[in-house]
Structures are given as C-alpha cells and as structure tokens.
Amino acid sequence: MAEGERQSPPGSSEDTPAATQNFIIPKKEIHTVPDMGKWKRSQVPVAYADYIGFILTLNEGVKGKKLTFEYKVSEAIEKLVALLNTLDRWIDETPPMDQPSRFGNKAYRTWYAKLDEEAENLVATVVPTHLAAAVPEVAVYLKESVGNSTRIDYGTGHEAAFAAFLCCLCKIGVLRVDDQIAIVFKVFNRYLEVMRKLQKTYRMEPAGSQGVWGLDDFQFLPFIWGSSQLIDHPYLEPRHFVDEKAVNENHKDYMFLECILFITEMKTGPFAEHSNQLWNISAVPTWSKVNQGLIRMYKAECLEKFPVIQHFKFGSLLPIHPVSLC
C-alpha cells in the first residue's frame, strides 16, 4: 500500500456509511478552463485527491509482480469480469456495418445503446442489494468508460471513467483492500481486452487531437501500472521494450509489454516514428524512473488538461466540492 497518501485505501470505511449516503447522478462540473481549479484542489476530500490516490495505491500494489502472480480473486472481482465478458459478447452480437467511411463504424452506436439501456442492471449484479441505492451513480462511470457514441472515439478520459468506476466500488465497500492486485491484473486487464476489441471492431477514433493525450492513442494507465510491475526486474530494462524478441517472450507477464505488442500489431513503420513518446521513454535507465515519470506525465497531460477533464462527471462518491462533515 502506498505510504503517505492522504486518501483512504480501496475498500476502507468512509465517514458516511455507504448504505445511508445520499447518492446522486454524476454530472459535468468543469465547463470552462478556470473551473479546473476546483478539480485540482488536493488538500481536501474531493475527486482529484481520491482518484489519484486510488491510482497510486494500485501502482504500489502491483509493484514487482507478474500478471501470472497468484492473488486472491473475490466474488466481486469475478462478477466484474462477468460484466466485462457480457460487453465482449455484445460486440460479437453487433457486427460492423458496411459503410463508406473507414473509421467510426456506426454499429458501435447500436452496441453502446445496449450498454446505455442495461448499465444499471449490469452494475446491480456486482453491487449487493443493501447498496442498491448506489447503482445509478456508479453506473454512470461504466457508461462513460467505453467511448463516445456520437463521435465514435475513445481516449484517456474514458479510461479514467473506468478507473473512477472501480474507485467508486471501493468507496462503497464492494471492492476491498485485498482486491488490489486483482483490480489491476484481472478486472482492468479484462477491460483493456474489451476496449481493444471495440477499437479494432468499430475502428474507433482516438479522442482528442490524434491521441495526443495517450501513449498509444488510447490508453495511459496500463503503462503506469505496467512499469511498476517491472521495477527491479532482474534483466528486463526499459530499453528492452523496443526489442521485438523481448516483448514476444514476456508480454503475457507484463501489462506494459502487452501494450507494446498491441501497438506493433496496429501500427506499421519504425517504432521511433509511430510511437515517439514511448521511444524516448525507452532511453530512461530504470523502471522506477519510468514509473515516476509516467505518473507526472499522467497528471500533467491527462488529469490537468481541460479537453480531457471537461467530460469527467462528479457525484457524491467523487465530489467536485469539499464534503461537509458537519
């Protein structure tokens, strides 16, 4: 568990018992650039502090561990994987349409409409009945996590919504402290698989300016957590992730290398040209420095960028305003 963080660890009890909390439907609160100040307050119990604390806690939890590491899998984790399996099955049931434009297949909108309709029912399969009042609030983050149905695009803001979805499940006690490794290795990794399938099946566009907010056009968090996995590795160094042989031999053990493999499958040409930011990162001497640098970059290029955070939604679990304890 990360030391020195202000946030409560995943699954810890909150000041307000979840069962008696007044849940609300999350909504957008960042409408102009000056509104970003409300989001970035880190000294009070608001969304930014809770969200980044959650990311850092999981970052510490997976440090030095392979994806094949043995870890506890709770009933809640299994239910979340089943939820993601359902989303995967719906992709198979909604084939791409024949259309003249290469990108943004409109069948995605049919797939998304099904999620929009069923999201609360899906979340209700994960959340116990005594916490049923939380379902509408938590379900919003699930719907926000799979891309935009108007633009048929996906980016780090959508990825952040899924992390927020998991963070909310921790805050109401569905996920607990001993679920940390499984949250990343089993749930988030399955989410990545489904998102990659969505991206490929419906030819989704990168959100933002040609994916400028992501390291591989779409994702960021698996690079943070994946680099933490590789800290103090006996022989794999950052320079090795641009080596095809090293990636092919180790990608099933490390999320970072799985990301690199996906990039090389989706893009052609020299790696230094199509993934210049990652190419530069490969020159960093240690995984610890890579991890620290990526966390700084994530804060600066994703969490503190108005085009990303303007879409984030705030409710009672991830509030934009300080929570009154009176």
CATH architecture of 31-308: Up-down Bundle (1.20)
For residue 12, name the pLDDT band (cuts at 50, 70, 90): very low
| DSSP secondary structure letter of residue 242 | G
pLDDT at 20: 63
Half-sphere exposure (Cβ direction) of 283: Cα atoms closer than 13 Å: 5
Helix axes 47-61, 287-298, angle to 10 degrees: 160
Tokens matching residue 220: 């960021």
pLDDT at 323: 54
Beta bridge partners, 313, equal: 28
Beta bridge partners, 27, equal: 314
| DSSP secondary structure letter of residue 218 | S
Q: What is the DSSP string of 250-313?
A: HTTT-HHHHHHHHHHHH--S-HHHHTHHHHHHTTSS-HHHHHHHHHHHHIIIIIT-HHHHTT-E
pLDDT at 15: 43
Taking the C-alpha atoms of residue 31 and residue 47, their distance in angstroms, rounded to an integer, is 16
Mean pLDDT for the chain? 89
8 pLDDT more than 60: no
pLDDT at 18: 55
Taking the C-alpha atoms of residue 254 and residue 101, their distance in angstroms, rounded to an integer, is 35
Could you give the 3-state DSSP secondary structure of residue 86? helix
The percent helix, strand, coil of the chain (3-state, each to 5) is: 55, 5, 40
pLDDT at 2: 38
pLDDT at 216: 82
What is the tens place of the pLDDT at every residue in 160-213?
Answer: 999 999 999 999 999 999 999 999 999 999 999 999 999 999 999 998 654 444
Taking the C-alpha atoms of residue 202 and residue 206, their distance in angstroms, rounded to an integer, is 12
Instruction: Find out whether 10 and 179 touch, Cβ atoms under 8 Å.
Output: yes
45-54, 149-158, 261-270: which is most confident = 149-158
Taking the C-alpha atoms of residue 60 and residue 265, their distance in angstroms, rounded to an integer, is 30
108 pLDDT more than 60: yes
pLDDT above 90 covers a percentage of the chain that reads 76
Domains of the chain, residue spans? 31-308
77 pLDDT more than 90: yes
**CB proximity list for 2: less than 8 A, separation 6 or greater:** 53, 56, 57, 59, 60
CB atoms within 10 A of CB 188: 23
Q: Which helix (H) or strand (E) covers residue 314, if one does?
A: strand 313-314
pLDDT at 225: 98
What is the tens place of the pLDDT at every residue in 262-311?
Answer: 999 888 888 888 888 899 999 999 999 999 999 999 999 899 989 999 99
pLDDT at 267: 86
116 pLDDT more than 90: yes
Range 93-110 average pLDDT: 94
46 pLDDT more than 90: no
